[in-house]
Amino acid sequence: MRVVLSNSAGVPLYQQIKEQVGTAILSGELAEGSALPSVRALARDLRISIITTTRAYADLAAEGFIATVPGKGAYVLPLDSALVREQLLRQVEDGLQAALDAARRAGLQREDLIEILDGLIHAEQDAVR
C-alpha cells in the first residue's frame, strides 16, 4: 500500500490517509485480513505526527473498514456490501458536486449537463462493445 500526501491539497492529512486506504480496501488492493502498517511506522514513513495516523485509523475503524487489535495492529475487515455501496455512492456524489461546481463557473445550464452526461454514457457503452 502506498500513501501519497500533499500539504497543498486543501484536505487534512488524516483525511488523505483515510481516503487512500479506504480506496485501496474497496478496490481489493488491500484484501480482507491484510495487516496495515502500525500507526508509528506509517507516521515515520510519511514523516507526520502519530496523532495524524491515529486519527485516520480511528476514522477507518469507525466506518467499518479496519479493526485495531491492541498490541497486534490494524487489519482489514471483510467488506459489507452495504458499506461498499454507500462508499461508492459517496464517491459519485462527490464527483457530481465537483462537476456541478465547475458547470456553475462555466455558466452551463441543466440541459448542457444532461447532454454531457449522456455523451459520456454513450461513449462508455461504445467502448465496451
pLDDT digits (tens, 9 = 90+) for 104-129: 999 999 999 999 999 999 998 888 77
Residue 109 CA to residue 121 CA, distance in Å, equals 19
- Please determine, for residue 103, whether its predicted confidence score (pLDDT) is greater than 90: yes
Q: Which of 66, 67, 72 is nearest to 22 (CA)?
A: 66
Which runs of E-coded beta strand occur in the chain?
66-69, 73-76
- Report pLDDT for 31: 94
- Residues 61, 95 within the same domain: no
End-to-end CA distance of the chain: 33
- Residues 36, 52 within the same domain: yes
Residue 117 is assigned to a structural domain of this protein: yes
Residue 83, sorted as left (phi over 0), alpha (psi -120 to 50) or beta, turns out to be alpha
Stated pTM of the model: 0.69
- Residues 46, 91 within the same domain: no
- Residues 118, 99 within the same domain: yes
Identify the CATH number of the domain in which residue 72 sits.
Answer: 1.10.10.10
Range of the domain at 121: 81-128
